[in-house]
């Protein structure tokens, strides 16, 4: 019988079906492990990575270990942001009636703050899809705005903002709503408020929501409402640690929130008193660093002080680069954690040099860091440090499934594209013959008739190709299409994934489906001249 079908009720590592019909994949080290992995759960490799060379595996928490539900968590953030705009920043009360469509925005988009536009571009930074608020811009409008400049725009800060995290989707949607509202009701927004000011106000309102603790308090009351449960997290940690790797957590969240979230993920404990939080989850790590202020954490010249956190009381204790300092009037340097089998030290702040010292890391290439944020987690750790990186892209699982489902349409698009090329070559040849070849009037008339037939055929094929392209585009997303593609080119987001992530996958626990000693190897690169020859 196939390993995925055998029952092993005594192991937490086995695949099981929960009451909500969500399946947990069995990890590699379980009796039924080592099975064929579904495409949506696979880890994809951009650069060779031999896990035997990795001595420490690190994790981000928010949207990496903790996968938030956009329909609840992002809606909560959206509602809080709207209230801040109205009650703190003077926006009209009509905004309180707005709602959030959590499916509308996708990662990889770019906000044009000055013009009030949302853009999707390819890897060469050509704008292929653009909306002003919720109104699509025509090809002519796109070209006039972004395609006719003498100097190519970099589409970076300060005039543009990248929607590169799932946290950014609600604020991008709210910005589009405000653009529409301003265009239709110019007198109702605060005086002298242009599109760029509205975006700054949205960002300020988002920051206020996070600073006042409202979001975290709501999540703490009912984490199961906002965070997806994944029973594979603890078995994955155990497998990595049993294989001899150190494990660490580096998060920008502070200790109180980190402890609550990790209690839920590792033991389904909450702060409501029904199942009180404890510190058992720390057994899964060697070092935990909270309040890390990534991406500045990844710079060794960052002079942030490193404080040790007393987990029981949340107090910060002074350290000398991680070495505990005695407190005045006390002979002890830190409070012990009762019941913790293996000591895990918890810190706040510091920088990557502190982390390397605490874990006895000799070379940056010995570290694999898993995160969800290209700029906050992956780019800096890769470019500045040389850490090996794995990017978590939750949207990837659905993207892969749709690619498999609609691959016939994609094949049809390639065939139509080739047909268009062939017809256009014939048209060019006929036009050349009519213009330059010495042919009599009858022959010229025949050639002209053939040319008209080809022009009609080309238009027919063009329309079929255009309609099929639109259909394929909308299979993935009605507005923005494929996450990783813009037409025939990789999207800007895909280009960033390819450049900065050694590995990428849909869920952090997919790491547990592979041997901890696996050698990840990338697929072969192909040049355009190789595709037809090798039938790629």
Q: Which residues are catalytic?
A: 60, 62
In this structure, what DSSP letter does residue 39 have? G
CA dist 128 and 324 (Å) reads 55
Q: Which among 516, 521, 500, 505 has a CA at the least distance from the CA of 246?
A: 516
79 annotated as belonging to a binding site for a ligand = no
Instruction: Give me 113's structure tokens.
Output: 């703050």
Helices (H), 343-440: 352-359, 380, 396-405, 407-436
Contact yes or no for 45/51 (Cβ under 8 A)? no
377 annotated as belonging to a binding site for a ligand = no
Helix 255-267 and helix 214-221, axial crossing angle in degrees, nearest 10: 20
Beta-carbon contacts of residue 220 (< 8 Å; ≥ 6 apart)? 257, 260, 270, 271
Q: Is 200 helix (H, G, I), strand (E, B) or coil?
A: helix
CA atoms within 13 A on the CB side of 434: 16
Q: Is 35 helix (H, G, I), strand (E, B) or coil?
A: coil
What is the length of the chain?
536
Helices (H), 437-476: 441-476
Query: DSSP per residue over 128-176, as a string?
Result: EEEEETTEEPPHHHHIIIIIS-SS-----TTTEEEE-SGGGHHHHHHHH
222 annotated as belonging to a binding site for a ligand = no
CA-CA-CA-CA torsion for 377, 379, 383, 387, nearest 10 degrees?
40
Q: Which among 47, 63, 141, 142 has a CA at the least distance from the CA of 107?
A: 63
CA dist 518 and 25 (Å) reads 18
CA atoms within 13 A on the CB side of 76: 19
Q: Which whole-number Å values give the CA distances from 125 to 134, 140, 200, 329, in the listed order?
A: 21, 17, 24, 61
Plot region of 155 (φ>0 → left; ψ -120 to 50 → alpha; else → beta): left
Residue numbering of the annotated binding site for Mg(2+): 60, 372
């Amino acid at each position: 019988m196939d390993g995925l079908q055998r029952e092993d009720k005594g192991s937490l590592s086995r695949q099981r079906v929960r009451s909500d019909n969500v399946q947990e994949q069995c990890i590699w080290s379980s009796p039924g492990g080592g099975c064929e992995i579904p495409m949506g759960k696979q880890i994809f490799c951009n650069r060779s990575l031999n896990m035997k060379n990795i001595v420490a595996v690190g994790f981000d928490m928010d949207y990496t270990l903790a996968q938030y539900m956009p329909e609840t968590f992002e809606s909560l953030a959206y509602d809080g942001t709207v209230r801040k705009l109205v009650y703190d920043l003077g926006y009209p009360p009509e905004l309180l009636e707005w709602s959030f469509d959590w499916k509308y925005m996708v990662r990889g988009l770019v906000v044009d703050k000055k013009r009030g536009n949302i853009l999707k571009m390819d890897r060469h930074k050509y704008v292929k899809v653009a909306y002003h608020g919720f109104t699509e811009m025509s090809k002519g409008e796109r070209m006039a705005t972004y395609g006719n400049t003498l100097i190519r725009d970099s589409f970076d800060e300060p005039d543009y903002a990248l929607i590169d995290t799932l946290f950014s989707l609600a604020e991008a949607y709210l910005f589009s709503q405000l653009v529409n509202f301003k265009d239709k009701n110019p007198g109702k927004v605060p005086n002298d408020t242009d599109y760029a000011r509205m975006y700054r106000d949205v960002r300020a309102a988002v920051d206020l929501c996070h600073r006042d603790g409202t979001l975290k308090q709501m999540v703490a009351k009912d984490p199961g409402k906002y965070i997806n449960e994944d029973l594979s997290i603890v078995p994955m940690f155990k497998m990595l640690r049993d294989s001899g790797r150190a494990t660490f957590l580096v998060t920008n969240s502070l200790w109180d929130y980190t402890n609550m979230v990790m209690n839920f993920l590792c033991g389904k404990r909450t702060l409501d008193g029904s199942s009180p939080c404890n510190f058992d989850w720390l057994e899964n790590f060697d070092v935990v660093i909270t309040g890390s202020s990534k991406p500045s954490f990844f710079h060794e010249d960052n002079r942030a002080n490193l404080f040790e956190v007393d987990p029981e009381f949340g107090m910060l204790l002074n350290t000398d680069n991680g070495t505990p300092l005695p407190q005045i009037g006390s002979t002890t340097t830190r409070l012990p954690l009762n019941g913790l089998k293996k000591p895990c030290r918890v810190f706040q702040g510091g920088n990557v040099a502190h982390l390397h010292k605490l874990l006895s890391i000799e070379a940056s290439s010995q570290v694999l860091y898993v995160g969800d944020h290209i700029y906050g987690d992956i780019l800096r750790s890769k470019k500045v440090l040389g850490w090996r990186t794995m990017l978590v892209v939750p949207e990837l699982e659905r993207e892969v499934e749709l690619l498999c489902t609609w691959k016939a349409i994609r094949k049809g698009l390639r065939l139509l594209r080739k047909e268009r090329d062939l017809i256009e070559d014939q048209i060019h040849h006929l036009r050349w013959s009519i213009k330059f070849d010495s042919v009599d009037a009858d022959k010229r008339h025949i050639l002209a008739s053939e040319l008209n037939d080809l022009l009609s055929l080309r238009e027919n094929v063009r329309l079929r190709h255009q309609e099929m392209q639109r259909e394929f585009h909308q299979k993935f997303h009605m507005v923005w299409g494929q996450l990783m593609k813009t037409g025939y080119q990789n999207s800007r987001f895909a280009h960033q994934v390819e450049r900065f992530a050694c590995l990428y996958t849909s869920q952090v626990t997919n790491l547990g489906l592979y041997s901890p000693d696996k050698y990840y190897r990338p697929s072969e690169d192909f040049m355009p001249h190789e595709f037809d020859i090798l039938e790629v």
